[in-house]
Amino acid sequence: MKKTLLTGAFTLVSAVAFQSSAWDGNNWMSELPDNAYVAQLSIPGTHDSATGHGTTSDVMARTQMHSLSEQLEMGIRAFDFRPQVSGSKLEAHHGIINCNISFDDAMKKVIGPFLDAHPDEFIVIHTLYAAPLFGSYDRDKDKYVNLLNSLFESDELKGKLVKFRRDLTVADMRGKILLLSRDSYSGTSPFGGFFENWSEEFDNLSRRSRIIGEAGDIMNSSKLFVQDRANTNGDNSEKARFMTNLLDFTTGYTINDDPANLVWAFNFLSSYSGSSTSSSYKSNATYFNKQLVDYVGAGDYVAGPTGFVMMDFVGDDDTNGIASVNAVIDNNFKYVGNSTDYTLAVGDKPEFRLDKAWLQGEGMYYNCGGDKAVPIIADFDGDGRMDYYCSGQSYEYYNNGWNWGDISYMALNKGFGHPYGFEAYDNQGVKRGENRSSSNNENYLPIVYGAQVQALADLNQDGAVDILLWDCDQHGWGTYPRYTTYGDQNSRVFINNGDGSQFTPIQGYPNNIGNNKHGNWSCSLPGKYHRVSIADVNCDGYPDIMMVTESGTTMENGQFSWYDANGTSVFINNGDNTFTRQFIAANRTHYAASLFGDFNCDGYPDILLNGYHDAITGADGVTIEPGYELVIMTNDGRGNFSVAYHSNDYAKNEDEGQETAIHVLDYDQDGKMDILLSGTTNRNSFNNTNGRDGKVAFILRNESDGTDVKFSEVLTDLHPSSVAMQRLSVLADFNGDGYIDYLADGWGPNSDWSNGSYLSYSRGEYNTNYQLHNGVIHNMDYYGSNEGEEQSWITFGDIDGDGMLDLISPAGDGAPRVYLNRTLQGKNQIAQVPDAPTNAVATYDIDTKRVTVTWDKMYTQSGSKAIYNTYLRRVDDSTPVSRSAAAEGVNIMRVPADVNTGKLKAYTEWSSFLPSETCFFDNLEEGTYELGVQSVGYNYGASKFTPIQFVVNNQTNGADVIAAEDNDSPVNVYNMQGMLIKQNVDRQDALTDLPAGVYIVGNKKMLKR
């Protein structure tokens, strides 16, 4: 597939499609495409540019040996000036030393005429006022702004200034000047833009550097990354590291087709050592100019933007000043405006890199609950970017002192894919950096220390992701409100107001359910991952909640008492932000699991229970005796459950199953939901060479024929990494090949019982050939030194928007750490995502009043079958007769997603999606409806929705389909390795002239004999 790297899709590439050799120093920008973003260019600049004309003390102040005209001719397009008011003009200085050209003359006699002669070029000016020896900027600033105004209204410069915008393009800038000032003017907006919070070193990003333009929309300001270490004090290594860190970021950073993600960067190579003298500047320039040349010329260098590179002593060989300027300019033509062929990810070993930009980053500034908190990743404000919620403790300075305190925070992702794109709000809704009172009036977010969640849903179907917290904190620190009579009520549902600016607790169940948190360490074990599940059990369009709760004890007035019943309950969603409790079973052990899944393949969500249970009586009146069992209770479609299967063989064992993880998904991709168990069960009969202490990993493969529940055992080579205290068990596609991988974190299988992180990747071979790779996630310091494995809960999500799942750890008692997925970096590969469904057809059975919709099977290009998400909404103006989501015109959506783009808003359980190519709706009122269906891959990448409209008429058998997909549209043909074979060909000719084999035609797997 092709991707053109211009404004709308400006992404870094690893292959050089062409190298421009036509440029010279006067016109090199004419080679750039008009729609390239300025922030994504590589632009050479000079530090204290005016010193090239000589100074009143060259031995102290000179940093350039070439005039401004000569600098322009060699290709310099960014200039650093230090203006100073002198009577009625602006001089140019380096510190207190005058340059032999004034700022006025530099602009009017050199830069202005150059742009007149070369209208395809543009200039960026960095200014910092040179305060006089016995004066200050404050004394001069009123006159300074007046002189600047006069200068840029002069005939030579009038009309040449550009207002700063984050998304300035080359076309916007041609023939123009962008003036960026580190000094704000008195009582006026910037002529171009203001720098804010200038930073000397690229390792502490809490300084929050920015460029601020005129007031307006969000694009009138930008995050700014700066490296400007001036004094190296005889040791160049630290500045070299800062310089390289910034180059690593800018050259490897992608905006993912979203200009909101643009970041501007200034990398100053200029510096002195010890004393500020010309010889010291020159010595350092010789070193750092070569460092730059070596960096962009390295054999393994993947070309990308350097940003603005400000250098000393350009234009001379003895300082590497010719090579450095040429290297920056040439770098543009390695990636800008090129068209590059991409291939699809092939299933390499997943690789993760600790993103240094997250350390001490803005927005990620609280301790996130120690080693028992799981951060929540979802698009809470609906802008298409994944946000971050976590609850725990903080240690920060306010009220004139450092304070520990319970805290929760929401970091809303505003772009950039790193903390500089986040706006963080605490539990009072106070934005990071703004004043916060010491009182604890939680009216925005809950504080639940050690909160766990694995189920997110749009509970009221308003399009926003709501929060459900399940907490088993043994310390009794879960707080919302901060203190309650019995220690705390730790199961909480919070309704999102729609844009993430307010979360409101519901009234009643399940918000008055308590959990055991008094001295029970067991809540740190993997069982808690499987205690909350979401599904619409009664088919009214509103998601219902299933939850395992545990009885807790307290002492009140000297009396021992229980404060909640225990076991599994389904909380039926009433559609008005209230829930009705339906008790299911007393499976009261600390490691009990309850999950939804369609196990008899009738289209309704059934219940899986595992662990010890008391006697269970189903809706059909049949009772099973107490025991350690895996139990399946099937749904009659109205939310009534009866026992259909139970087995002691597959139960979490009598040690309460603390070593067991359970997942429900279509593991073998046959359209039926299977059960994956790993860890310790009552049946440890498998001889497993990679296991330890009887640990096993096997699939209960669903063999149902659509009427009853049947399973067969399939042993896998996928083994649990943990014998106890496992912190993570995740199934998802981490290497982009379309197939499920397995990630675990916890105590490892090594003889020293060390903590470890382990990942198996499958390439579609679900039953064999799994290998656990140790050391996936390392706890590293800023400089990349390993300090051992993480020992915290870990969650996942595509936090930087590149289509690959990243990992996020609260890092115990430190700032959260993000491990960006870099499996595809430098490989010209993209993650596989199935295309939108084709051939959607709706039928209506008047006797059963059921609408059934079917579509074609969809695959990734590697052959991994898609799973599906749907929405249903009424599109006519009829008055509803009954109370249901569909009748009331509400979007009935299985998993929260953007209807227009298809982008998923939450990382829900795999059992929330449809495993097969059909769905149905019963008892719809007469009217016109629209159903949308999208394909979803195991990296949570999703296609757009394929919409189909139909009319339900209870007088007619069969649905009147209003819109159907065009099956005559051209298709692409791929081989089974994901390579494009044919493009935009007629479907009937797709396999013509191809050898025998299996191909993906459009999105169908086809065999040519």
Sign of the four-CA dihedral 637, 638, 643, 647: positive
User: Whole-angstrom Cα distance, residue 204 to residue 362?
Assistant: 10
Token readout for 546 is 């299933």
In three-state secondary structure terms, 803 is coil
* Count of alpha carbons within 13 angstroms of residue 298, beta-carbon side: 13
Contact between 271 and 311 (Cβ < 8 Å): no
User: Whole-angstrom Cα distance, residue 565 to residue 586?
Assistant: 9
Sign of the four-CA dihedral 400, 401, 404, 407: positive
Best CA proximity match to 886, nearest among 852, 917, 926, 853: 926
Contact between 921 and 950 (Cβ < 8 Å): no
Q: CB neighbours of 610 closer than 8 A, spacing ≥ 6? A: 530, 587, 592, 593, 594, 629, 630, 631, 650, 651, 652, 657, 660, 662
Position 119, amino acid = P
Best CA proximity match to 658, nearest among 608, 717, 716, 729: 729
Contact between 925 and 541 (Cβ < 8 Å): no
User: Whole-angstrom Cα distance, residue 887 to residue 542?
Assistant: 12
Neighbours of 520 (CB within 10 A): 15
Position 972, amino acid = N
Q: How far is CA 302 from CA 15, 310, 989, in A?
A: 8, 21, 39
**Phi, psi (5° rounding) for residue 805?**
-80, 125
Best CA proximity match to 510, nearest among 539, 477, 548, 561: 548
Best CA proximity match to 567, nearest among 616, 507, 524: 616
Active site residue 93: no
Active site residue 94: yes
The span from the first CA to the last CA of the chain, in angstroms, equals 26
Position 739, amino acid = Y
Contact between 674 and 915 (Cβ < 8 Å): no
Contact between 789 and 747 (Cβ < 8 Å): no
DSSP strand pairing (210-212 vs 696-702)? unpaired
Among the options 53, 66, 93, 94, which is catalytic? Answer: 94
Token readout for 751 is 């003889």
Q: CB neighbours of 868 closer than 8 A, spacing ≥ 6? A: 837, 855, 858, 913, 914, 915, 917, 919, 933, 934, 935, 936
Among the options 47, 126, 646, 719, which is catalytic? Answer: 47
Alpha helices in 27-102 (DSSP H): 58-61, 68-74
Contact between 388 and 232 (Cβ < 8 Å): no
As annotated, the active-site residues are 47, 94
